[in-house]
Amino acid sequence: MRGVVREVVDDTGAASTVRLLDDVDLEVTRGGLLHVVGPSGAGKSTLVRLINRMDEATAGSIDVLGQPISAWPVRELRQRVAMAFQESSLLGMSVRRNLRLRFDLCGDTPSDLDERIGGVLDLVGLDDEVLERDASQLSVGQKQRVALGRALIGEPDVLLLDEPTSGLDPRLAEQLLDRLGEIRESRELTMVMVTHRLEEARRMGGELAVIIDGRIEASGTVEAVIAQTANARVRQFLLGDEDATG
Amino acid sequence: MRPVEPLGLVEILLVLIPIAVVIALSLALRLGQVRRVSIATARAVVQLLAVGLIIGWVFERHTWYWVVGLLLVMTSIAGFTAAGRMGGSRLRLSWLMSLILGGVTAVALIYYTQVVIGVREWDSRYLIPLGGMLLGNAMTAAALAVERVTSDLAREQKDVEVYLSLGASPWQAARPAVRRAIGAALTPTINAMLVVGVVKLPGMMTGQMLGGSAPLQAALYQLLILSGILFCDSMAATLSAGLLYRRLFTGAWQLDRAELRRLGGPAG
């Protein structure tokens, strides 16, 4: 997956055009993991939303699986590049309906749906008994897991995660991250993960991009970026984060 | 039965006295309604006198083109008013709304006057009042439906985006909001049907009885108009919400945030 985004502007009207992303050039290899970190409001969420075309880049190009995203039919792109939003993205219906929704939307329910649902629950570490419960009644941790399961059930090639651990206590967050690591390895899944906690990137390994004010200020392997960066703004962000998270 | 007693200038001045009482009350109790009541009264006087004179003039012509002409003018005013309430003063939207409202009303008018009542000529006595009622109601229903679908999509942006991210088309993502909007647009008419004759006598029925019709006939005509209103409301609401939800999405199945912010208020 490769993307060069020259710019993304917030098109509220000519008078208040805001440049959200500028000159972003990133590449993730198949089965790779990219963490996107940065202060809030830096453009991290916008960046992942560009990959499955929930937002549109105003200039530049993004390729997914060797093809520019504009060449993909939108539905197919979004089903191959699945997305798990920040907390509480479950719809007000049963967990089972949440999980099978993507199949219902395109009208092709796989014959092995029940096995798939079982497999995905297993994968995210949930019990069968949650299936008939209304999604709104679940705990934050369970919701995050169902959202993850819903993103994984269609066996996507790419998984976009926007702060998957937000709202979780540290122990649950660690569990979820470990689970994500296992899923990635077992499925050769390409992952792009937005986080504001550097600790998470360190735990999972892979690549790291630091984005500040809509620009990539540093990128490379997690260790290299943390150890070597000479960029003052990045240092300041990384150190600030160290302080914040202990 | 005697025809209705004519009203003249003296009677109209007498009619204004109760309104003057309302204004006096507002002044005495400092209700702050003087300006609103005065403007509303002035507008009602001017608009009703004008419409009375114009329709009277058309009634005397007995020619189809004056009837159709007047209905077309009413349709475009309804179209522009509806478009204005939908937060778009753009010409295209006004034309679209005029087309929807005009089409729906035309179908209903032809059915009720030609098939049901069996008026076999361009009788302005039927066409203009029925057309006006149906048009006015359809306009309100269409505006309500579109306002509702817009505000719901703005408020439920997050859910809509979840649908889209799972591969839903804009129609699939907006369907719950469209369905609710159509229901909301029908609510006033359905509520009116539930209490009609029990809690209040509708204007048309009252008017017919004042005009000398037998109460049962007036009631049957009221039933006819309610059926027409329900039909026009639901067609106009369905067509306008079903077409206009799409303006909140881009061609690439994204929520159009700029449009949402413009139309959906602060929630967008």
Q: A147 with A89: CB under 8 angstroms?
A: yes
The pLDDT value recorded for residue A244 is 47
What number of residues does chain A have? Answer: 246
Q: Using DSSP bridges, classify how beta strands A67-68 and A59-64 pair: parallel, antiparallel or unpaired.
A: antiparallel
Give A229→chain B minimum CA distance, Å.
35
How many other β-carbons are positioned within 10 Å of the β-carbon of residue B52?
A: 10
Q: A204 with A33: CB under 8 angstroms?
A: yes
The pLDDT value recorded for residue B3 is 67
The pLDDT value recorded for residue B133 is 94
Q: Is A71 on the interface with B (CB under 8 A)?
A: no
Q: What share of chain A is helix, strand, coil (3-state, %, to 5)?
A: 45, 25, 30
Q: Is A102 on the interface with B (CB under 8 A)?
A: yes
Judged by CB atoms closer than 8 Å, whether chains meet at A106 and B167 is answered as yes
Q: Is A165 on the interface with B (CB under 8 A)?
A: no
Q: Which residues of A fall within a CB distance of 8 Å from B161?
A: 54, 85
Q: Using DSSP bridges, classify how beta strands A2-10 and A18-27 pair: parallel, antiparallel or unpaired.
A: antiparallel
Helix A170-187 vs helix A140-152: crossing angle, to nearest 10: 10
Cross-strand partners of B118: none
Q: B127 with B71: CB under 8 angstroms?
A: yes
Euclidean distance between CA atoms B179 and B149, whole angstroms: 9
Backbone angles phi, psi at A207, to 5 degrees: -100, 160
Q: Which residues of B fall within a CB distance of 8 Å from A83?
A: 165
Provide the residue ranges of all domains of chain B, joining segments of one domain with +: 1-61, 62-267
Euclidean distance between CA atoms A241 and A237, whole angstroms: 6
- Ranges of residues in chain B with a pLDDT under 70 are 1-3, 88-89, 265-268
Euclidean distance between CA atoms A130 and A138, whole angstroms: 8
The pLDDT value recorded for residue A14 is 47
Q: Which residues of A fall within a CB distance of 8 Å from B257?
A: 10-12
Euclidean distance between CA atoms B70 and B36, whole angstroms: 30
Within 8 A by CB and 6+ apart from A183, the residues are A123, A152, A189
Structure token pair of residue A182: 């296992």
Euclidean distance between CA atoms A64 and A69, whole angstroms: 6
pTM of the model: 0.84
Strand order in the sheet with A190-194: A81-84, A158-162, A190-194, A33-37, A207-212, A215-221
Backbone angles phi, psi at A40, to 5 degrees: -65, 145
Q: How high does pLDDT run on average in chain B?
A: 91
- The angle at the Cα of B181, spanning B133 to B225, to the nearest 5 degrees, equals 20
Of A174, A156, A99, residue with least CA distance to B162: A99
Structure token pair of residue B242: 């079903």
Q: DSSP letter for A125, please.
A: T
H-type helices in chain B, by residue range? 9-29, 34-61, 64-85, 91-110, 124-155, 157-165, 170-195, 203-210, 215-244, 257-264
Euclidean distance between CA atoms A42 and A65, whole angstroms: 26
Backbone angles phi, psi at A197, to 5 degrees: -105, 115
Q: Which residues of B fall within a CB distance of 8 Å from A12?
A: 257-258, 261
Chain-centre distance of CA B181, in angstroms? 16
Q: A138 with A146: CB under 8 angstroms?
A: yes
Structure token pair of residue B16: 């204004």
Chunk chain A into consecutive blocks of 10 residues (it has 246) and report each block's average pLDDT, rounded to whole numbers. 74 58 85 90 88 89 90 94 83 94 91 93 89 92 90 93 85 87 89 88 91 88 84 79 48
Q: Using DSSP bridges, classify how beta strands A158-162 and A2-10 pair: parallel, antiparallel or unpaired.
A: unpaired
- Show the domains of chain A with their CATH numbers: 2-245 (3.40.50.300)
The pLDDT value recorded for residue A207 is 93
Cross-strand partners of A94: A134
Structure token pair of residue A97: 């309906």
Within 8 A by CB and 6+ apart from B69, the residues are none
Q: A174 with A104: CB under 8 angstroms?
A: no
Helix B170-195 vs helix B215-244: crossing angle, to nearest 10: 170
| Amino acid in position A241 | D
Judged by CB atoms closer than 8 Å, whether chains meet at B162 and A79 is answered as no
The pLDDT value recorded for residue B182 is 97
Q: Which residues of B touch A (CB under 8 A)?
A: 158-159, 161-169, 172, 250, 252-254, 257-258, 261
Q: Which residues of B fall within a CB distance of 8 Å from A150?
A: 166
Structure token pair of residue B86: 């939908």
H/E stretch holding B141: helix B124-155
Residue of A nearest to B251 (CA): A74
Judged by CB atoms closer than 8 Å, whether chains meet at A105 and B261 is answered as no
Burial letters A137-149, b for 16+ CB under 10 A, else e: ebeebbbbbbbbb
